[in-house]
Structure 1
Amino acid sequence: MQVFWFIPTHGDSRYLGTSEGAREVNFDYLKQIAVAADTLGYEGVLIPTGRSCEDPWVAASALAAVTRNLKFLVAVRPGLMTPTLAARMAATFDRISNGRLLVNLVTGGDVAELEGDGLFLDHAERYEASSEFIRVWRDVLAASHGDGNGSGEISFTGKHITVKGARVLYPPLQRPHPPVYFGGSSAAAHDLAAEHVEAYLTWGEPPAEVAKKVADVRARAEKLGRTVRFGIRLHVIVRETEDAAWAAAEDLISRLDDETVARAQAVFAKMDSEGQRRMAALHAGGRNARTREALEISPNLWAGVGLVRGGAGTALVGDPKTVAARMEEYASLGIDTFILSGYPHLEEAYRFAELVFPLLPRSVREKLPGQVLSGPFGEVMATGIVPRAAQS
């Protein structure tokens, strides 16, 4: 099991839908979150992309310099950059970070945003272009390593992308290229994942729906003689007790009003993303009451975040043992990577790591600071009494 955290380059707050308790997005704050994730034992961080965010490549490059082991899942955007430019960016980042790059292939689902960036392809065309993009990206990076038998150049002629004699002179550290992650819920997305990527990501749907996605992508990949890993993107609200966790969930949306929810849902409704449609369907487009009964769509899976947040809109809510058990349930379906976040992201990174990490599989526990440092941990009492070791 790999556990990732999230860098909120689009903003952070204690309450959704209001500036009350909000945090300014600046480098000092993002650095605090990245360093916390690095020292707490998270495998890596996802950096979001889109016009509502700071640029992910610039942000990741700055944060790589202040971290040691943390991996960065950074987006490439077909249609907004060429595959060879993206390949050079990836190779450089991978080299300067000592092999800590993971690549997130993002096709985009907000038509208005894409048109604002100069991309006027429909849903099917975007997936065609993405398939061609990632093929060129992978091939040119693989060729950059060289084996003494070729020039390191590749050429490709497609419907949307054509390159002739494309070449990357400085290869990435990872061979043949940094791993590619990708998420999408349509049939075209599943085909792309099966053919081109190392890891398929889903947003946090109920386990039965996630199982269907995993089975479908796995079957399509097997027909091509490939294997694909699987990950899930979720928010987390964990507290010492179930009641406290659900109270925190209700508090997170306590400042939302009907107008704000309606405006957000109207924007989401215009998107042509199948994943966004599925997220909205989980809470009936915000039409239901904002109660636990209406928003708990599966045991401990809460759709309240998706009332106003695009993309991942569900959270695991509960006490540490319950949240760990729900993660194990997803893991039993084939999920091995969990990309998590919580509001505010700095405090919740610590809270989740301290409460849940000790309950997760050994692959996670062995990365905890206590497995590396000598301690003591906690406040020394009366100038010499060391705190008792935690009971696992």
Structure 2
Amino acid sequence: MTKQQDLQLFWFLPTHGEGRYLGTQKGGRSVTLPYLQQIAIAADSLGFHGVLIPTGKSCEDSWLIAAALVSVTKQLRFLVAVRPGLQPPSLAARMASTLDRLSDGRLLVNVVTGGDPTENKGDGIFLEHSERYEVTEEFLEVYKRLIRGEQQVNYQGKHIHVENAGLLFPPVQPFGPPLYFGGSSPAALTVAAKHIDAYLTWGEPVADVAEKIAAVQQLADERGNHLEFGIRLHVIVRETEQEAIDAANKLISHLDDETIAQAQSIFARMDSAGQARMQALHNGSKDNLFIAPNLWAGIGLVRGGAGTALVGSPEQVAERIREYQALGISKFIFSGYPHLEEAHRFAELVMPLLGEQKGVSLPRSGFNTGPFGETIANDLRPKQVSAS
């Protein structure tokens, strides 16, 4: 059993689009800089450890978004993607070092190999699945030497060749920003075990996640690498389980069979093992979307990547979090639709139930802030209600 770590709760910045319903323009809202600032400030003030910024053709550039939000936040960390094969490792190291300094050590780096061959070709990457992981490993060999302070790096690999590479301006964090990484194929697990600080998985039933973690842990132990673990999930929490189920059904209420089929055909062209595992949870059907207690696969009908959500009452969601934590998972990256409102809802309903655990921050409060509600008749504080 992996040693249980302190919880770190993350939120998500929806730079690929946002709304109240999936698969439709109805209820959509503009993802502007002011709106992303609202989400980031909310996550910062509510006590989230950091935010994940997605990457890819469908997203605004994650590095520019993070740079734009550093100055409006205080403690919030930014999990930003480097793209082996799309960025040279020396350029990625300079970018990471700069943003780490600008944020005073609040950068986390997400290593993304990319699982959509069509999108990769649009970016000039014409490599098979196994070759992309060869590039990723070579990229990390060079990147890590640079970010950790080696002044003159020479490297000759199958895909990457550098001579006298160096990083003049070091990052704030002594060994560079921690490296996060997700992937389900054997090649991905090998890269994670050798090079990565935090291995991420998408939300699957507890037994499946336990099996994957055990495999990565064994590989890491063989290489002497200390790994932490994280999970990427959506969350739909309401005061009662039925309200949460109703909200989940409402989220996909405008999805028709044609839209689902179009999305599934796009996912089918991908060579990502993780995406295939997500698809297998629902098989493109609205039927039987609860695949485990409080684990709902409806989001994956039209959304690539993380496709499952924890759905239930605050107590149920907290209990599911503890089950994953018992496997050794310490980093939970959540999101909800719409992301601004759901950040507050999660913080208000679930975080107090986790607050007794070291590492979980609760919203900072002043004289007239915190969980008091509105003053009654200009004179009385509302009565306190037990969390239970």
- TM bracket (short chain): over 0.9
Q: Note the C-alpha offset of 1:30.
A: 0.8
**Matched ranges for 1:88-127 at <5 A:** 88-127=94-133
**Partner Cα distance (1:265, 1:276) in 2:** 10
Which residue matches 1:204? 203
Which residue matches 1:221? 220
Q: Quote the RMSD (CA, aligned, Å).
A: 1.2
Contact 1:237 1:316 in 2 (8 A): yes
Is 2:273 the counterpart of 1:267?
no
Q: Note the C-alpha offset of 1:364.
A: 6.2
In structure 2, do the counterparts of structure 1 residues 198 and 389 end up closer, same or farther at CA, with 3 Å as the change threshold? Answer: same
Which residue matches 2:162? 163
Contact 2:8 2:360 in 1 (8 A): no
- The one-letter code sitting in structure 2 at the alignment partner of 1:19 is Q
Query: Sequence identity, in percent?
Result: 59
- The one-letter code sitting in structure 2 at the alignment partner of 1:69 is Q
Which residue matches 1:47? 53
Which residue matches 1:149? none
- With a CA cutoff of 8 Å and minimum separation of 6, indicate the structure with the bigger relative contact order: 2
Contact 1:180 1:199 in 2 (8 A): yes
- The one-letter code sitting in structure 1 at the alignment partner of 2:256 is D
**Matched ranges for 1:358-377 at <5 A:** 358-363=352-357, 367-370=361-364, 373-376=366-369, 377=372
Counterpart pick for 2:40 among 34, 49, 58: 34
In structure 2, do the counterparts of structure 1 residues 278 and 34 end up closer, same or farther at CA, with 3 Å as the change threshold? Answer: same
CA-to-aligned-CA distance 1:354-384 (integer Å, 9 cap, x gap):
00000014346862124x5344532122222
Which residue matches 2:378? 383
Q: Note the C-alpha offset of 1:167.
A: 0.7
- The one-letter code sitting in structure 2 at the alignment partner of 1:383 is N
Is 2:335 the counterpart of 1:341?
yes
Contact 1:357 1:364 in 2 (8 A): no
Contact 2:355 2:362 in 1 (8 A): no
**Partner Cα distance (1:216, 1:69) in 2:** 34
**Partner Cα distance (1:45, 1:234) in 2:** 13
In the alignment of these two chains, the number of paired residues is 379
Q: Normalising by structure 2, what TM-score?
A: 0.95
In structure 2, do the counterparts of structure 1 residues 178 and 365 end up closer, same or farther at CA, with 3 Å as the change threshold? Answer: closer
Contact 1:17 1:260 in 2 (8 A): yes
Q: Normalising by structure 1, what TM-score?
A: 0.95
Contact 1:268 1:276 in 2 (8 A): yes
Counterpart pick for 1:312 among 306, 315, 330: 306
**Partner Cα distance (2:359, 2:212) in 1:** 28
Q: Note the C-alpha offset of 1:391.
A: 2.4
* Alignment gaps of 5+ in structure 2: 1-6
CA-to-aligned-CA distance 1:185-232 (integer Å, 9 cap, x gap):
001111000000000000001100000111000000000111100000
Counterpart pick for 1:296 among 280, 290, 298: 290
**Partner Cα distance (2:20, 2:26) in 1:** 8
CA-to-aligned-CA distance 1:232-266 (integer Å, 9 cap, x gap):
00000000000000000000000000000000000
Contact 1:357 1:365 in 2 (8 A): no
* Alignment gaps of 5+ in structure 1: 145-151
- The one-letter code sitting in structure 2 at the alignment partner of 1:72 is F
CA-to-aligned-CA distance 1:29-60 (integer Å, 9 cap, x gap):
11111111011111100000000000000001
Q: Note the C-alpha offset of 1:388.
A: 3.2
SS of structure 1 residue aligned to 2:255: coil
SS of structure 2 residue aligned to 1:391: coil
**Partner Cα distance (1:247, 1:80) in 2:** 42
